Structure 1
Amino acid sequence: MDWNEVLRDVTTVECVASPVIVANVQYDSRRVQHGDVFVAMRGGSVDGNQFVEKAVAAGAAAIITDSRDAFAALRGKNLGLALVEHGRRALAEASSAIFNHPQSHLALSGVTGTNGKTTTAFLLEAMLRSVGRKCVLIGTIETHVAGEVRESLHTTPESRDILELFADGVRAGATEAVMEMSSHALEQERVWGLPVEVAIFTNLTQDHLDYHRTMEAYFAAKSRLFEGVGTPPPRVAVLNTDDPYGERLAKTIERSQVIRYGVDAKADFAAESIQMLAGETRFRMITPAGVAEIRSPLTGRVNVYNLLAASAGAWSRGLKLDEIVCAAEAGAQVPGRFEVVPSKNGITVVVDYAHTDDALRNLISLARDLQKGNRGHVITLFGCGGDRDRTKRPRMGRAAGEGSDLVVLTSDNPRSEDPAAIIAEALVGVKETGTECIVEEDRAKAIEVAIHAAHPGDIVLIAGKGHEKVQLLKSGPVPFDDMAVAARVLKEME
C-alpha cells in the first residue's frame, strides 16, 4: 500500500510524504519486517520511541511517532514519516487503512462490565451463529474467526491486532463481531475508531483499582463504550439496570436506543419464575417481542443476567424471539465458568474464574442454592492475584468465609509479589467471619486438601483461575490447569 494513502487516514501534526510502499503495521519493534510501518507511541510503562532505530534497522519503511524529538531525528532519512499527537489513535487509524477498513464490514457488539463479559459474549456469538451468521469473537478465553478458534492473549488486544482479526474474519465471510471491551482498553483507546452497533453493560463492582484508583474513574472508563471511542455512540445500549451503575448510565444516554434488562418487571428484558437446578436454569423472559420460556444448561442467577443480556443483544441484531429461545436451550459452556469436573464419588467439584469479592459471593451463593434440600457442605478454595488491587484481598476473604463451611486459602497468580504476603492480606477477611480456614500456599496441594476434605454431597469450589492454563510466578509462567489437577485428584480417589 502506498504510504501517502495511509497518511490520508492518520490525523497528523506534521508529516513527510514519500513514494515508499508499506506492507504491514507494527507497534512492537521485534515484529517489524521489511516494508512495515512502525508506530512508536508512549505507553504507561514503556516508551516505544526508544525502539525507533531498531525498527528502522529491521527494515521499517515508515515511522509514525508521538515524539517531536524522534520525528526531528528521522528527518532527512529515506522514510515515510509522521508526527502525531495521539500514538494509540494513530495506530488504529494506520491499521484501519492498511487492513482496508474491515470494521466497516462488520456489525460490532461490545460487552463491558466487571463480571459476566465473557459468558455474555460467548452466548451472544452462539445466538448469532445459530441463525447462520459468521462471527469474529474477541475475549478473555479465546478468539473465534468465522469458526476458527485461536488463542487470546488479552481480553481486548491493541487496535492493530483487533483490525487484523477483523480483516481475517471479513475474508472468511464474517458479518458480525462480538468483543469484550475492558476498562483498560476503553481508557487507553485500544478500540479507537471501532463503530459499535450494540453496547452491553453487565455490572460494576470493585476491581482494577490498582489502575483506576477510584470507582468513579473505573465507571468513567466503562462509560466510554456508550459515548463512542472516536466514533458516534452505539445504536443500541443494553444495560443491566438492576445494577446502580447501569441505572446511572441509562439516565445519561441520549443518542442511543436504551434497552434495560434485569430481574425486574420494569426492564425491557426481564426474568420471572426463576428455577435453578444443577446443570439447568429455567425462567420466563418478558421481552418487547412477547413472553418466552427460557431453558438453559447454564446454572445460576448470574447466568439469568447473562442470558438476558445476550438475548437483548441478539434481538437488537435482528434475531426473532423463537430463534433466541432455541439458541439459549442449545447452550454455550464457557471454559472455566462454573465448569464441573467429572466425578464418580458424589463430590461436586466446580472450577470458576471468580476473582473479585462480588463474583466469589455470587459463586458461593449459587452453590448454596444447589445445596438446598440436602446437608452438603460448601468448600471454597481461592487466592488473590499479585500486582493487582490489594484492597479487594480482605474483601474476597470475607466473601469466602461468610458463605462457606470451609475455606482453603492458596496462591493464585502472585506475579512479582510474595505469595505468603498476599495470603496474609486475604486471611484477615476470612478470620473476621470465624469460618474454618486451611492455608496451603502450593495451589496443587491446596486443591488436593479441598477435595479430600469433602464428602459425598459436598460442593468444592475452585475459584480464581478458571480457564487459565498457566500460573504467573515471579520466575515466569508455569503450566497449571485447575481442571486437570482436580480431575487427577478425583481419579485417584475412585
Structure 2
Amino acid sequence: MDVNQLLAGLTTVARRDGIADVTGVEYDSRRIKVRDAFVAMRGETTDGNRYIEAALTKGAAAVVTDSREAYEELALKHPTLPVALVERGRRALAEVSAAVFGDPEKRLALTGVTGTNGKTTTAFLVESLLKSVGRTCVLIGTIEYHVGDAVRASEHTTPESRDVLQVFADGVAVGASEAVMEMSSHALEQERVWGLPVEVAIFTNLTQDHLDYHGTMERYFEAKLRLFEGVGTVPPRVAVVNVDDAYGRRIVEAARHSQVLTYGFDEGAEFRAIDVRMKAGETRFTMMTPKGMVEMLSPLTGRVNVYNLLAASAAAYARGLTVEEIVAGAARVGQVPGRFQVVPSGSGVTVVVDYAHTDDALRNLIALARELVAPQNGRVITLFGCGGDRDKTKRPKMGRAAGEGSDLVVLTSDNPRTENPSVILAEALAGVKTTTGTTCIVEEDRRGAIEIAIRAAKAGDIVLIAGKGHEKMQILAGGTVPFDDAAVAAEVLEEL
C-alpha cells in the first residue's frame, strides 16, 4: 500500500512523507524484508530504535519510531525516507499492522480469556465447542496456535500485535469466522492487544502470580481489568465472569457497558454446576443455564475443569450455540497438553503432568488428586519446583501447599533461568517445612526427581509432576535444553 496513506492513518506527533510502496511490517530488524515498514519501539528489555539502520540496510521502506532523537537523526541521514514519530510505539505497531494485513480483526468474532489459572484449558474448550458446530477458528495461546486445522508453535502466550494480526489474516484466508485468544496481564498492560475488538471476554480467577512484574495484586488486577474496559476499542459485547472469585465480583461491577454472564458454584451464577461426580478421565455434573438444567459429561477431570467448562459454555452460549450443542460438544473435547495430562501406565500408578505453577493451582491440583485416590486409600506424591527470575514470594507458599496436601513431596528445579537452583530450592523447602510430618526429598536434577517420585509410588497412588506442563524445554543459566515432563515420565514407567 502507499506509504503516505499508511502513515496518514497513524496518530502521529510528526511525519515526513516520501515515495514508497509498503508490503509488510516488522518490529524485529532481523526479520525485515524489502519494502517492509519498520516499527522501532521501546520494549521491556531493549529499544528497537537501536536497530533502525540495520532495518534500512535490509530494505525497510519506511520507519515508525517512538523516539524524537531517532526521528531527527533520520531527517539528517535519510532525508527522503518516509518516517513517522509517534508517542506510543506499540499502539502504532497495531495500527500499521492492521492496515498492512487488511484489518483481519474486523472479520473475526474474538473471544479473549484472561485470569491467573485456567486460561489455556478454557481457550481450548471454547475453540472445541465452536468447532463442534462447524465454525472455523483461530486459536492463540500458551501451548500452540491454530489456524483452522493447522497447528503452529507458540512463542508467547500473547504475542505482539503484528504477529497476532498475521495469524488472524491467515485465519481469514482459510475461512475462519472465530478467534480465541489467551490475553495475559503483561500483554494487556503493554498494549500488545491494542485495537482488537473483543466480542466475548472471559475472566477465570486471580491469585498471586507475576508480582515480579506488576508489584502488587491491585496492579495485577488492574491489568486484567483492561480487557473488560476495551484496549483501544469499545468494551466487549459480553463479559463472562467467575463470581466465586472476589476479583471476579469486582469485574461484574466494572463491566457496566457489557452484557454480563456469570458462572461458578455460587447460587447466583447464571451458569452453575451442581451434583459434580468425577473420576480419572471423566467428570459429570448438572449445569444450570439461562435455558434450564442440562447434564454435562466431559473427559476432563476435576473441579478446576468444571470451572473451565462453565466458562467455555457461557462463552459458547454468547456466541450463539444452544445448550444442547454445548452439551454435545463438551462430551467430545480432547485432553489439553500439560493440563492434568495422564501419562499412560500399566503399573496401577497414575502419573499426571500439570502446569500448576502457583500455590493456588498446586493446592487445587493436589485436592483433586486426593479425591481420586481416596477410594483405593492411595497416596499423593507431588513433584514441583519454582521458576527463577520470577516472583520469589510465592516459593514458600508453593512449598506449604505441597506439604499440606501430599504424602510425599519431591522438590526439584523448574526453570531456574539465571538464578542459583539451590537458592530457589531452599526458599521452597522452607515452606514445606512449615507443615507437619511431610517427607520431602530434594533432588535438583529434574529427570532424577521424576524417577524418584515414580519409583516411590505403589499401585493406587498418584504422582503429580507439576510446574512445566506442556513445555518442551528447561531454561537454565547456561542456556535452554530439551525437556518434556510427560516424555521423561513415560521413559521411567517403561523402565519399570
Q: TM-score, normalised by structure 1?
A: 0.99
* Cα distance between partner residues in 2 of 1:437 and 1:379: 10
* Cα distance between partner residues in 1 of 2:176 and 2:384: 39
Q: Specify the alignment match of 1:400 in structure 2.
A: 402
Q: Any residues of structure 2 matched to 1:182-201 within 5 Å, and which?
A: 182-201=184-203
Q: Any residues of structure 2 matched to 1:343-354 within 5 Å, and which?
A: 343-354=345-356
Give the counterpart of 2:100 among 83, 95, 98.
98
The 3-state SS of whatever aligns with 2:433 is helix
Q: Specify the alignment match of 1:202 in structure 2.
A: 204
TM superposition shift of 1:423: 0.5
* Cα distance between partner residues in 1 of 2:296 and 2:282: 10
Which amino acid in the other structure matches residue 418 of structure 2?
A: S
Q: Specify the alignment match of 2:365 in structure 1.
A: 363
Which amino acid in the other structure matches residue 358 of structure 1?
A: D
Give the counterpart of 1:226 among 225, 228, 241.
228
Q: TM-score, normalised by structure 2?
A: 0.99
The 3-state SS of whatever aligns with 2:377 is coil
1:401-455 C-alpha deviation (Å, 9 max, x unpaired): 0000000000000011111110010000001113100000000000000001111
* Cα distance between partner residues in 1 of 2:359 and 2:181: 24
* Cα distance between partner residues in 2 of 1:126 and 1:191: 23
* Cα distance between partner residues in 1 of 2:7 and 2:287: 50
Kindly report the root-mean-square deviation, in angstroms, between the aligned alpha carbons of the 2 structures: 0.7
* Cα distance between partner residues in 1 of 2:492 and 2:334: 27
The 3-state SS of whatever aligns with 1:438 is strand
Which amino acid in the other structure matches residue 275 of structure 1?
A: R
Q: Any residues of structure 2 matched to 1:15-54 within 5 Å, and which?
A: 15-54=15-54
TM superposition shift of 1:80: 1.3
TM superposition shift of 1:105: 0.3
Q: Specify the alignment match of 2:388 in structure 1.
A: 386
1:376-407 C-alpha deviation (Å, 9 max, x unpaired): 10000000000100000000000000000000
Q: Specify the alignment match of 1:82 in structure 2.
A: 84
TM superposition shift of 1:77: 2.6
Q: Specify the alignment match of 1:480 in structure 2.
A: 483
Which amino acid in the other structure matches residue 382 of structure 2?
A: T
Q: Specify the alignment match of 2:156 in structure 1.
A: 154
1:326-368 C-alpha deviation (Å, 9 max, x unpaired): 0000122100000011111111100000000000000000000
Q: Specify the alignment match of 2:471 in structure 1.
A: 468
1:13-38 C-alpha deviation (Å, 9 max, x unpaired): 11111220012100011111211111
Which amino acid in the other structure matches residue 34 of structure 2?
A: H
Residue 446 of structure 1 pairs with residue 466 of structure 2: no
* Cα distance between partner residues in 2 of 1:9 and 1:306: 40
Q: Specify the alignment match of 2:286 in structure 1.
A: 284
TM superposition shift of 1:45: 2.1
* Cα distance between partner residues in 1 of 2:340 and 2:322: 28
The 3-state SS of whatever aligns with 1:373 is helix
TM superposition shift of 1:9: 2.5
Which amino acid in the other structure matches residue 124 of structure 1?
A: V
Q: Specify the alignment match of 1:60 in structure 2.
A: 60
1:245-273 C-alpha deviation (Å, 9 max, x unpaired): 00011112210001110012210100101
Which amino acid in the other structure matches residue 443 of structure 1?
A: R
* Cα distance between partner residues in 2 of 1:344 and 1:70: 64
* Cα distance between partner residues in 1 of 2:150 and 2:272: 34
* Cα distance between partner residues in 1 of 2:180 and 2:81: 37
* Cα distance between partner residues in 2 of 1:220 and 1:3: 37
The 3-state SS of whatever aligns with 2:444 is coil
* Cα distance between partner residues in 2 of 1:58 and 1:25: 13
Percent identity (aligned): 68
Any runs of at least 4 consecutive aligned residues in structure 1 with deviations exceeding 6 A, and if so which? Answer: none
Give the counterpart of 1:260 among 259, 262, 268.
262
* Cα distance between partner residues in 1 of 2:347 and 2:289: 42
Alignment length (residue pairs)? 493
1:295-346 C-alpha deviation (Å, 9 max, x unpaired): 0000000000000000000000000111000000012210000001111111
The 3-state SS of whatever aligns with 1:185 is helix
Q: Specify the alignment match of 2:5 in structure 1.
A: 5
* Cα distance between partner residues in 1 of 2:144 and 2:323: 28
The 3-state SS of whatever aligns with 2:376 is coil
Q: Specify the alignment match of 1:420 in structure 2.
A: 422
TM superposition shift of 1:43: 1.2
1:122-176 C-alpha deviation (Å, 9 max, x unpaired): 0000000001100000000000001110000000000000000000000000000
TM superposition shift of 1:475: 1.1
1:451-477 C-alpha deviation (Å, 9 max, x unpaired): 011111100000000111010011111
* Cα distance between partner residues in 2 of 1:332 and 1:192: 32
Between 148-157 and 369-378, the greater mean CA deviation after superposition: 369-378
Which amino acid in the other structure matches residue 41 of structure 1?
A: M
* Cα distance between partner residues in 1 of 2:6 and 2:325: 42
* Cα distance between partner residues in 2 of 1:32 and 1:443: 39
